[in-house]
Structure 1
Amino acid sequence: MKRTKLMLSMLCTLIFSFASHTPSYAGQGSTYNHNTAPAPVFQVAEHTIKELSQYSEFADFINSRLHIMPLGPGTHSYLVHVYQGKEIAGYLIITAEQSSIEETKASQIKYLVTEYGVGTSSVFDPELLYSLGHLSRQEQSAVNSNLYEMQYTGKLSYWVIEKEEKTIYVDAGSGDVLPDNPEKLAEPLTVDGRSDWIGTSHTIQTIQQTSPLFDSSENLKWRVSTPVPIVSELMLLKKLYTSNQLIFSSSDHNMWYSGPLSISGYATWAGPGTTTVSYVRVGTDQSLIRYIPMKRLIENGEFHENIK
């Protein structure tokens, strides 16, 4: 009898633990890998998705289900895939605040969203590896094997593929092969990486589309144009309203941002006090639209008008 009571008690505890991670907007089939991610990751994901789902572009985030996977190496980062039915509707990348890792217990580490996106594709979409020939269709069943690893530096998402005694590094957004191991390369400097991330204390103010989606590679005249002088978020926001299309490029750091980037809008989030965080809307088609911290680009690149 005591053993039966103990088993019932453990079962009730397990059911309660799972339910505590199921957000109000999620469907009954919600997938939560709660064994691989701490509770604060779920809280940040739930809050961010609830905020984004207020806007039509993110309508498929309503009644969605989530699949959460850890990213390496040692960044305390997680990839959140948002599913509507069996289809991907978008993603979030959630990362631990570095000072929080160093100063607090694991259960108290602060997690923030460093990037998010919407569309039927995503960063780390395995289909990209097969369509571009990095892996063969015969290897498709080995998605969860040691053929590749998903890694994240805090700026760049990439795969490490071990194949035929060779190692290649592939951009997880574009599918481009990277020139070398990102761990061996110098990252772009940032004044304060935490100030352009969002968490549970942020609420979305607006999402604005300032131009139709476009592909910067279709017309390369912008490459020989004079960069637009932009040194602040306010200047970039104003320019997005006066210029038809803007392109971000960085001669030294394009790899880290999957650049050049075609900018078609922005999102602004209100933080504690009077602080705000802005993200640029980038992408060439509806299958994958990414939102990247605006400050991250201003510090390490240039902006050009798309010349027609």
Structure 2
Amino acid sequence: MKIRYRTKRTSTRHHIYILLLLMIGFAHLSFWPTAQVAASTSRMAPMAVEQFAQQQVNALGASNPDWVAAKLEYFPLGPGTHSWLVHANIQDKRIGYLIISINAQGEFLLSEYGLGDHVLYSNDTLGQALERQNLNIDSLKAVGGKLSLQYAAPLLAYWKVEDANHSALYIDASNGDLLPSGILERLETNSGKQKLGFTEQNKLQEPQFKSSGKAPITSPVHLRPAFDPSLQLNWLTSEPLQPNQVEQEIQHSPASALVFSAGEHNLFYGGPLPVSGYQLWHTEKTSKDHTDPINKPGSGLDSDSVLYVGLGGLNSTQRFVPLNKLMYDGEFYLSRP
């Protein structure tokens, strides 16, 4: 009898143990999809990057409410650039993008942004570029190929397409043009960046809007007609504008035709490019601060303001980039009709 009692008791414990395992298993399955979805939305960028991106989106939403309503997608740029591409979407429509970087001091920077559905790193642009090379994503995957998004300040955004059987391809992410592989290979090394004259992020003189304790505010976007600099070539024989002239022309001469040129590096910037607008960013003022320079005409920028210049937009993506960042690597010219 004792043996039967022990056997019965052991069997009961065994059944209870199995029941507990099943309960725990069902509980785990009920939470797993939620945890999986949460991970998929944030694993591409740290929480601090997402918070900074949301702060910039809120500022842009002051003049375009679509930004606030948009869902953000994050894609790391690299390797080694410490940057992220952020696509802003409303349902299946893209309304713009951001590129967020980190400087040598660990501060977040808004390196550039764009408005509208013609954005950097478009899948359509990539597909068309690969088709011209008799390639497609499926064939690349089949041979163990690799595709990475790359970025170099101030305007070089590109895909690197690697195939074990061929040399790497470099494709401009703004227009799909094929870039010279030899120069890009040198660019990927520190010595190459210095020799080519491309701006290194740790050498930039605070040109971008940085992370701070105060929320940024923006002026409305001021647009001007885009044009094709290749059809108005008189700028080639003119002298480049001085820095103080550039700011004045952009903000207070909306009828003037301005061209940004990076000289021998135009191939990598999709240039020369027309100036097609601007927007001022500024740290939010407290009651003790001065008058907001965004609304103070003719006074120039104070130390907390950043002038983002819109480039392109006629035959290419319109990209808003800090003025100081552009002047580090290129010059502005006045095109006269």
**Superposition TM-score, scaled by structure 2 size:** 0.71
Partner of 2:127: 130
Residue 45 of structure 1 aligns with an amino acid whose one-letter code is A
Asked if the contact 1:129–1:135 (Cα under 8 Å) also holds between the matched residues in 2, the reply is no
Indicate whether 1:79 and 2:85 are aligned: yes
Partner of 1:53: 61
Alpha-carbon distance in 1 for matches of 2:238, 2:272? 14
1:44: Cα distance to partner?
A: 1.0
Indicate whether 1:236 and 2:246 are aligned: yes
Indicate whether 1:174 and 2:175 are aligned: yes
Identity of aligned residues (%): 28
1:69: Cα distance to partner?
A: 0.9
Alpha-carbon distance in 2 for matches of 1:138, 1:132? 9
Partner of 1:278: 307
Alpha-carbon distance in 2 for matches of 1:45, 1:217? 36
Alpha-carbon distance in 2 for matches of 1:194, 1:39? 26
Asked if the contact 2:197–2:329 (Cα under 8 Å) also holds between the matched residues in 1, the reply is no
Asked if the contact 1:119–1:286 (Cα under 8 Å) also holds between the matched residues in 2, the reply is no
Stretch deviating more after TM superposition (286-295 or 244-253): 286-295
Partner of 1:152: 151
Asked if the contact 1:90–1:120 (Cα under 8 Å) also holds between the matched residues in 2, the reply is yes
Indicate whether 1:293 and 2:322 are aligned: yes
**Cα distance change, pair 286–255 in 1 and its aligned pair in 2 (3 A):** closer
Indicate whether 1:118 and 2:119 are aligned: no
Residue 150 of structure 1 aligns with an amino acid whose one-letter code is L
Structure 1 residues 27-46: Cα deviation after superposition (integer angstroms, max 9, x where no partner):
xxxxx631121101100111
Gaps of 5+ in 2: 1-19, 286-302
**Superposition TM-score, scaled by structure 1 size:** 0.77
Aligned length: 283
Question: Which is greater in Rg?
Answer: 2
Partner of 2:278: 266
Alpha-carbon distance in 2 for matches of 1:246, 1:72? 32
- Give the one of 266, 275, 282 matched to 1:254: 266
Stretch deviating more after TM superposition (137-146 or 176-185): 137-146
**Cα distance change, pair 2–96 in 1 and its aligned pair in 2 (3 A):** farther
Indicate whether 1:211 and 2:224 are aligned: yes
What is the alpha-carbon root mean square deviation over aligned residues? Answer: 3.3
Aligned residue for 1:99, secondary structure, equals: coil
Residue 120 of structure 1 aligns with an amino acid whose one-letter code is D
Indicate whether 1:33 and 2:41 are aligned: yes
